Structure 1
């Protein structure tokens, strides 16, 4: 069993990626994104929405990353469990999270981090995972437009059939890394 670290001294020059996980049936496959990021030299920490936490193998993710999963705010004076991110990938991103984020609603730790990261200029990619019924709602289209206008890198996703939960194994986890890499190569 891997010991969970609390904001340890980081490896020299290794970038740190936050993976924000929302409540979607495919969230249990997030290890694919973590593995891909680690193979590319990233350290990874996971932030789950409160509902998203129930969709992932928390002990497995913590063992894989070496960090605790964050889902709630820490109390003043508590140690910081994760280093500051160099980039953020929101995958899978649900209808609820996309719309709240675009509206500036910060009622969960995950949304608070996403809203604040805009002000810090942290490169952020989002991989939507919504049904075609949700994607038809005008708020969704407007929210994606607003996120793009904010400089958020929005991945391509074909909405799945309502009530199907999508097809496991077809979510393009690594697209988040492909979207982020050009941004990380640009001088500030």
Structure 2
């Protein structure tokens, strides 16, 4: 599970709980900003694994601390993370994991949370199509998932963020 810095991230425990109901072993990675949105202690207690948001120093005890992922959910996914990932930018741990997973063919579902103005930006639209062309399931609009919200209205949608859609998508692809 990769969590970005968007409003629904404060309820990321809901995705972990739903994944556990489906018998998934969940490891949480956050973007640097996403870490500020989550309760790290709660997520670590729920998963039994550390929440990662940074690379380990070479030679760090335990080496690569994450097993190879069977599937990845990116939720809530932000405009910034989606655009950087599509362009091949790997300037943080979460983006590095996503770059590798794309190349490895790992099933990935992305559940964006952004306003309609950002989601209509031409670069974003191109990048979503690029990721979809690579097999990533981007769950937004056009029957793929929830529609973007009007600018300034995102807070009203936090309780109804459809976490389960992303799990459904990776289970179907898996």
Q: If the TM-score is normalised by the length of the shorter chain, which range does it land in?
A: over 0.9
8 Å CA contact 1:68, 1:81 repeated in 2: no
2:76 counterpart residue number: 92
- Pick from 75, 97, 114: which aligns with 2:57? 75
8 Å CA contact 1:67, 1:82 repeated in 2: no
Q: Secondary structure of 1:45's match? A: coil
> Which shows bigger deviation, 92-101 or 71-80?
71-80
* C-alpha separation in 2, matches of 1:147 and 1:33: 23
- Pick from 16, 25, 32: which aligns with 1:50? 32
Task: Report the alpha carbon displacement of residue 163 of structure 1 after superposing the two structures with TM.
Answer: 2.6
Task: Report the alpha carbon displacement of residue 137 of structure 1 after superposing the two structures with TM.
Answer: 0.8
2:150 counterpart residue number: 161
1:173 counterpart residue number: 163
Which aligned pairs between 1:65-144 and structure 2 lie closer than 5 A?
Answer: 65-78=47-60, 79=62, 80-144=64-128
Provide the TM-score with structure 2 as the length reference.
Answer: 0.92
1:28 counterpart residue number: 10
CA RMSD of aligned residues (A): 1.0
**Between structures 1 and 2, the one with greater strand share:** 1
Task: Report the alpha carbon displacement of residue 82 of structure 1 after superposing the two structures with TM.
Answer: 2.2
1:146 counterpart residue number: 130
Task: Report the alpha carbon displacement of residue 81 of structure 1 after superposing the two structures with TM.
Answer: 2.5
How many aligned positions are there? 166
* C-alpha separation in 1, matches of 2:41 and 2:158: 21
Runs ≥4 in structure 1, deviation > 4 angstroms? none
